[in-house]
Structure 1
Amino acid sequence: MAPLVKLRSARDQMSAIERRIADYILDNAHLLRDYSSQQLADALGISQSSVVKFSQKLGFKGYPDLKWSVGQAMARDGAQPQAAQAQAPQAADAYRQLEQALARSKAAAEEDTRALNPRATIEAVVAALDACDKVFVYGLGDDGLFAREFAMRLSLLGQLTVHHADPVLMTTSLSAVRQGDVLLMFSEFGKLPQLSQISRQFQDAGGQVVSITRHTANPLRAHADLPLVVSAHDPSPAIAQLLYRSSLQTLLDFVFVLLSRTASGRDRLLAANLERVQRLLDS
């Protein structure tokens, strides 16, 4: 796992001092090569030993190893656009540069998202969806668009799906929850109080909650049984939102493909349902 991704993935389990160190490195990764452990400690107002222990806790031999790893990652990222320009001089115009930069950012965000969601977690989500009687799907706003589309795809696989974008309707539907049912809760930031309320009520009824949020500390992710996270970091809020949507879609696509192959009849059922839908659209 890339060092900066490792920092982001471990941040929620860090102490207050460790989070300060992690945030400083993430914000100033391009300057880290010029900092000794003592200089970094002085910049943060902490002891040098705290920096060393932080590095070792992340699995590095020490601070120099961490600094070298971050420097290598930054060098790789910086070399990619130069290589692209050398191979294609005609891409020097602003149009092509923007197109290539967006493609690289999307690829990096999707790679980080894959690294942040361990195989064990993905397989546990697929197993829970495969074994449950009903899947409840909830999302508001932009999250609701992904929730609705994924609920439809689950239905095409023959999964009994309850989808709502209204918190009141979802709350009333909780009376139908049975042991082992799954709630997919889509929320980019996971901070709305009603999300946590619905999540807790669903768990109290015996269901499992799968949260899909940004890779940030948030109440919904903290209390979910199975949290899925999306990496989308960019200085531009507009680009960061695009990265979130792209990475989220890739993550959902992979879960869907895995689920479609958990039982031999699912792929045939999917094909039959798609054919019925097409006949309806053609009529």
Structure 2
Amino acid sequence: MSALLRIRAGRDQMSAIERRIADFILDNAQLLRDYSSQQLANALGISQSSVVKFCQKLGFKGYPDLKYAVGEAMARAGNGDDADVEAGSEASADGGLAGDLWRRKSQAEEETRSINPPRAIEAVAQAIAGAAESGKVFIIGLGEDDIHARSFALKLSLLGILTVHNFDTAHMTASVSAAGRHDVLLVFSEQGKQPSLCQIGHQFRECGGKVISITRHTSNPLRAYAHLALLVSAHDDRPSIEALLYHSALQHLLDRIFVLLCEGGREAQLQANLERIQPMLEH
């Protein structure tokens, strides 16, 4: 695991000061080579010993080792870009862009996988399976988040799991008023900051149900209301590319849950439903 990935993966378990150091390094990795540990401490208004302890907590001997590891990670990324340029005479520009996009998607999926360990994915799958046996699965997402919410609701329906999907907060507020302790609510929100979704999550908890949030790997209000949190890590300086990385990493995360549910004894139900639907698609 690269130094930058290790920092991202461990950020949620860090103290407030450690998160400040982590965020500075992640946002300014290319500048770190010009900073001594004292200069970094001065830039953040903290003690030099805090920087050293941060490095040691990540498994490095000290700041020089961390700086070297970050430099290596940046160099590897740079070498990958250079390889595309050298291959330009043999491949089209579109092929170079495709290769770069594929690598960045792979990196986002790797980072997302590292911050959602198997036990976390299994816990979400078990919560959904439990709701399927004795209750319902409520699903909501607004705007672009509804793309994944709607798709996942369809997949759960194909497995024979009763879902209540909505993209209207007023309707969902009315729906969750009838929720109980056997029900589960999945809330899709990239930034996790919409007050209406936080209110629905709070209401669902008061009804005794279990809330699962799906957001970026950041501190956000929605996660505070969640019993379980799925996290997506996707970073790029270009907004258009970052959006693609987010959707790709999130889809891979949801696919892992879907496969676990299938392997939990719902494969036959999926096949039966697909056979029922196929004639409708052919006419």
Normalising by structure 1, we get a TM-score of: 0.92
Distance 1:207 1:2 in 2: 38
Query: Is contact 2:105-2:249 (8 Å) kept?
Result: yes
Cα distance, 1:69 vs. partner? Answer: 2.2
Matches within 5 A, 1:80-119: 80-84=80-84, 89-91=89-91, 93-119=92-118
- The offset of 1:40, in angstroms, is 2.0
User: What is the match of residue 123 of structure 1?
Assistant: 122
Whether contact under 8 Å (2:9, 2:111) holds in the other structure is: no
Q: Give the Å deviation of 1:198.
A: 0.6
Equivalent position SS for 1:273: helix
Deviates more, 1:187-196 or 1:172-181: 172-181
What does the per-residue CA deviation read over 1:21-49, in whole Å, with 9 as the maximum and x for residues that have no partner? Answer: 21221122123234321232233333211
Contact 2:186–2:213 under 8 Å retained in 1: yes
Is contact 1:138–1:165 with CA below 8 Å preserved after alignment?
A: yes
Q: Residue in 2 aligned with 1:4? A: 4
User: Which one is further off, 59-68 or 188-197?
Assistant: 59-68
Contact 1:138 1:147 in 2 (8 A): yes
Structure 2 residues without counterparts, runs of 5 or longer: none
CA drift of 1:79 comes to: 2.3
User: 2:183, 2:89 → 1: CA distance?
Assistant: 55
Give, in whole Å, the separation in 2 of the partners of 1:69 and 1:194: 42
User: 1 CA distance for matches of 2:144 and 2:16?
Assistant: 32
Number of residues of Structure 1 aligned to a counterpart in Structure 2 = 280
1:62 aligns with 2:52: no
Q: Which SS does the other structure have where 2:264 is aligned?
A: coil
SS in 2 for 1:137: strand
Distance in 1 separating the partners of 2:254 and 2:60? 32
Q: Residue type matched to 1:95 in 2? A: D
How is 1:214-225 mapped onto 2 (pairs within 5 angstroms)? 214-225=216-227
In the TM superposition, 1:1-283 aligns within 5 A as 1-84=1-84, 89-91=89-91, 93-132=92-131, 133-263=135-265, 266-283=266-283
How far off is 1:88 after superposition? 6.8
SS in 1 for 2:229: strand
Q: Confirm or deny: 8 A CA contact 1:135 1:183 kept in the other structure.
A: yes
List 4+ stretches of structure 1 deviating above 6 A: none
Distance of 1:236 and 1:282 partners within structure 2: 41
Does the 8 Å contact 1:5/1:116 carry over to 2?
no
State the shift of 1:63 in Å: 1.6
Q: Residue 183 of structure 1 contacts residue 207 of structure 1 at CA under 8 Å; is this kept in 2?
A: yes
What is the root-mean-square deviation of aligned Cα atoms in Å? Answer: 1.9
Q: Is the 8 A contact 2:52 2:62 kept in 1?
A: yes
SS at match of 1:162: strand
CA deviation after TM superposition for structure 1 residue 116, in Å = 1.2
Q: Which stretch shifts more, 104-113 or 151-160?
A: 104-113
Give the CA deviation at 1:193: 0.6
- By how many angstroms is 1:97 displaced? 2.5
Structure 1 residue 87 displacement after superposition: 6.1
1:86 Cα deviation after fit: 5.2
In structure 2, C-alpha distance between the alignment counterparts of 1:53 and 1:149, rounded to whole Å: 44
Please list every run of 5 or more consecutive structure 1 residues that lacks an aligned counterpart in the other structure. none
Output the CA distance in 2 between the equivalents of 1:227 and 1:201: 17
Aligned-residue offset at 1:270 = 0.4
Contact in 1 for aligned 2:177/2:204 (Cα 8 Å) = no
Letter in 1 for 2:82: Q
Q: CA deviation at 1:130?
A: 1.1
Distance in 1, Cα, partners of 2:16 & 2:256 = 35
| TM-score, length-scaled by structure 2 | 0.92
Judge conservation of contact 2:121–2:256 (CA < 8 Å) in 1.
no
Q: Which residue type is aligned with residue 75 of structure 1?
A: A
Indicate conservation of the 8 Å contact 2:105/2:245, yes or no.
yes
Q: Tell me the amino acid that sits aligned with residue 276 of structure 1.
A: R
Partner of 2:46: helix, strand, or coil?
coil
Any idea what the Cα deviations from partners look like across 1:59-103, whole Å, max 9, x if unmatched?
333222322222222222222233455567413x53333222211
More moved, 230-239 vs 21-30: 21-30
Alpha-carbon distance change, 224 to 59 in structure 1, aligned in 2, over 3 angstroms? farther
Aligned partners of 1:234 and 1:240 also within 8 Å: yes
